[in-house]
Chain A
Amino acid sequence: MNAPVSIDRLVVGSDLYGPVRVIIPERIEWYDSAMLSAAVGELRQVGSNIHTDENYAKEQGFTAVNADGMILTNWCSTMMVDYFGINYVKRGELRTKFIKLVLLNTVLHVRGKVLAIENTPEGNLYKLDVWCEDAAGTKLVDGDAQVLVPRK
Chain B
Amino acid sequence: MLGGFISDLQKGDVFESVTYQLTAFMAREYAHGVEENWEGYHSDNVEGGRQMRPPTMIHADKMRILEKNCLKEQRISGMKAPDARVHYEYYARHHSPAYVGETLTVSGHITDRYIKRGRDYLDYYLEVRTSDGRLVTTYTDKTLLRFKPVGEP
Contact residues of B with A, CB < 8 Å? 20, 23, 25-27, 29-30, 32-38, 40, 46-48, 52, 54-57, 59-60, 63-64, 67, 76, 78, 80, 83-84, 86-97, 146-148, 152
A-B contact pairs, 29 of them (CB 8 A): A30-B32, A30-B35, A34-B32, A35-B63, A39-B64, A41-B25, A48-B80, A50-B147, A60-B146, A60-B147, A61-B146, A61-B147, A61-B148, A69-B88, A69-B90, A71-B34, A78-B36, A78-B38, A81-B36, A86-B40, A86-B46, A86-B47, A86-B97, A89-B52, A94-B55, A94-B56, A94-B90, A95-B89, A96-B90
Asked if A98 is an interface residue, CB under 8 A from chain B, the answer is yes
Task: Say which residue of B59, B88, B92, B148 sits within 8 Å of A97 (CB atoms).
Answer: B88
Task: Say which residue of A21, A33, A60 sits within 8 Å of B148 (CB atoms).
Answer: A60
Residue of B nearest to A29 (CB): B33
Residue of A nearest to B144 (CB): A98
* Residue of B27, B46, B78, B148 with highest tally of chain A CB at under 10 A: B78
Given A38-B29, A39-B64, A98-B87 in contact, is the A77-B148 Cβ separation under 8 Å?
A: no
Is chain A's interface secondary structure helix, strand, loop, or mixed overall? helix
The answer to whether B55 and A89 touch across the interface, beta carbons within 8 angstroms, is yes
